[in-house]
């Protein structure tokens, strides 16, 4: 049976279903398309982002000093490591230009630079995690939306039984069909959204670890190369 023919099958069932069922199916369709768009875009962007920061991290480690490492990072377009390191360098410059005593600078330098690095990492993670909450909403709510259609279809089936005063197959079939189709579509949306949300979140955690590693390497190098930040 061809389910896409207008005269029969699934398409005919949707056309003949109640307005609420059609609305539920439309909502689930939008959620499905949106979910797959987010999934594909995030897989591509996360892969590119991680490849970029791994390459930059290697250049950073190979550089002879902090200045050369920052110049190497700057050569890459939209370098995330350069943005994080630049903010930390600006904080170091502010401390160097301040009128604080050397002992005070030493006491606050590590905490200040660490805080700026943490803010830089957090800023990138916020940008990367955008749209993931919507994917989680699709994963959690699509089943409930499908269940609403299921309940409505069963109610229609019982209503038809009451009107016809009999429980023939022709009486209950339309309502039961509506119930089953909305349940199926809810699962079609929820299953991939749930699976890929967890996969993408794990990849985001890996990116976070890479950025945190860079922040630690930057702070260690700054303490080694800047005399006033070195522990006495």
User: What is the rounded CA–CA span in Å between residue 80 and residue 14?
Assistant: 48
CB-side exposure of 178: number of CA atoms within 13 Å? 27
SS3 state of residue 167: coil
This prediction has a pTM of 0.77
Q: If phi over 0 gives left and psi between -120 and 50 gives alpha, with beta otherwise, what is residue 139?
A: alpha
- Which tens digit of pLDDT belongs to each residue from 44-78? 999 999 988 888 888 888 888 887 888 777 766 57
Per residue in 216-229, is it b (16+ CB within 10 Å) or e — as a string? ebbbebbbeeeeeb
- What are the helix (H) ranges across the chain? 9-16, 19-62, 66-74, 80-97, 102-128, 132-164, 169-225
CB-side exposure of 130: number of CA atoms within 13 Å? 7
Q: Which residues of the chain have pLDDT under 50?
A: 1-8
What's the mean per-residue pLDDT of the chain? Answer: 80
Long-range contacts of residues 167-175, Cβ cutoff 8 Å, at least 24 apart: 174/16, 174/17
Instruction: Supply the pLDDT for residue 185.
Output: 87
């Amino acid at each position: 049976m061809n389910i896409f023919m207008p005269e029969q099958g699934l398409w005919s069932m949707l056309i003949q279903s109640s307005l609420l069922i059609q609305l539920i199916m439309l909502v689930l369709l939008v959620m499905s398309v949106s979910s797959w768009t987010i999934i594909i875009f995030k897989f591509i962007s996360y892969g590119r982002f991680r490849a970029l920061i791994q390459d930059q991290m290697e250049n950073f480690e190979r550089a002879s000093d902090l200045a050369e490492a920052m110049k190497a990072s700057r050569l890459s377009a939209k370098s995330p490591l350069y943005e994080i390191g630049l903010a930390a360098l600006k904080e170091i410059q502010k401390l160097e230009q301040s009128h604080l005593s050397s002992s005070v600078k030493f006491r606050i330098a590590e905490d200040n630079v660490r805080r700026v690095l943490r803010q830089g990492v957090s800023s990138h993670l916020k940008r990367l995690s955008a749209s993931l909450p919507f994917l989680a909403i699709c994963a959690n709510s699509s089943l409930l939306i499908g269940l609403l259609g299921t309940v409505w279809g069963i109610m229609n089936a019982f209503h038809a039984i009451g009107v016809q005063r009999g429980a023939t197959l022709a009486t209950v079939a339309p309502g039961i069909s509506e119930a089953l189709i909305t349940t199926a579509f809810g699962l079609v949306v929820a299953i991939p959204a749930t699976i890929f949300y967890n996969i993408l979140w794990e990849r985001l955690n890996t990116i976070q670890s890479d950025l945190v590693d860079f922040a630690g390497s930057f702070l260690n190098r700054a303490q080694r190369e800047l005399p006033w930040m070195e522990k006495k």
